[in-house]
Structure 1
């Protein structure tokens, strides 16, 4: 079976939710799933549920640097080292492990912020193990990523409670 590359992008809520849904579907079909989350700690509600499912491995994201726009230059440099190492670890696991699906949540953001080299991601996608399905989430994927993708789903915000001053709610937004 040919493996495909999926992109869930856009300014709407639901990119991670779509990736989690696909992960659960794959797991329920007996597939092994590796999920790595960039720019997000493990305090989000789905992580605990995903970790309880046999066949799903969630790579720990143990560091938080806050919002990129509020980081100092020193924090940005530190974040670049951390996320580049996290990416390398993820790609190594994906190659060495018996995974059928790899999810890299918010990979577009870390690429766009220069916290990881997009070339590393592109090279991996080109040479990934046969049969490894890959999901990439985040806003503003590059033209190169869009060209490589087999699926591109844009999630567009029409309306969101945040626009009315309602903060993120546990179990809904995180």
Structure 2
């Protein structure tokens, strides 16, 4: 059996989730079982429904939305921390118990950086994960701990983005 790897898609450019989804589709197309858990995102994003229709891919539902972190009250931040910590815990158990081949934790960097989940818990899981489990982490500003643990680190750099000219996110393109 080949060694499984940890992938990081990070940076300020558009495409981190898109890269993770592309890898998920490739893995499923080769008969692998994929689990995708999304943090800080609702299930209204265009890819969620279609991903759920692809044999071999399971998407963990995101049942609560707290809005942008910078606009949350302290009480909402506490609620979000409880919710996302529980989501992380159930995801890690499900990934191992379900014998998935690929685990994608979309926007895990953000929930770690905001203190909504314990980064040490994620690191401990990565270190002790089953030898067959490939893991993808996405988000901006990965910690040095995550970068050191990763086998792949791909930085997606924004050179230009329509948002800078006032164009809001468009359904089917950005979400």
- Using the size of structure 1 for normalisation, the TM-score is 0.99
The 1-side partners of 2:99 and 2:49 are apart by 22
Alignment of 1:74-85 (within 5 A): 74-85=75-86
Corresponding residue for 2:131? 130
In the alignment, structure 2 segments of 5+ residues that lack a partner are none
The 2-side partners of 1:47 and 1:124 are apart by 25
Corresponding residue for 2:44? 43
Q: In the TM superposition, what whole-angstrom CA distance separates every residue of 1:61-110 from its partner, at most 9, and x where no partner exists? A: 01000000000000000000000000000000011112000000000000
Pairwise CA RMSD: 0.4
In the alignment, structure 1 segments of 5+ residues that lack a partner are none
- Alignment partner of 1:108: what SS? helix
Alignment of 1:141-156 (within 5 A): 141-156=142-157
- Using the size of structure 2 for normalisation, the TM-score is 0.99
Q: 1:130, CA displacement in angstroms? A: 1.2
Alignment of 1:87-98 (within 5 A): 87-98=88-99
Aligned residues: 174
Structure 1 moving runs of 4+ over 6 Å: none
Q: In the TM superposition, what whole-angstrom CA distance separates every residue of 1:109-157 from its partner, at most 9, and x where no partner exists? A: 0000000000000000000011100000000000000000000000000
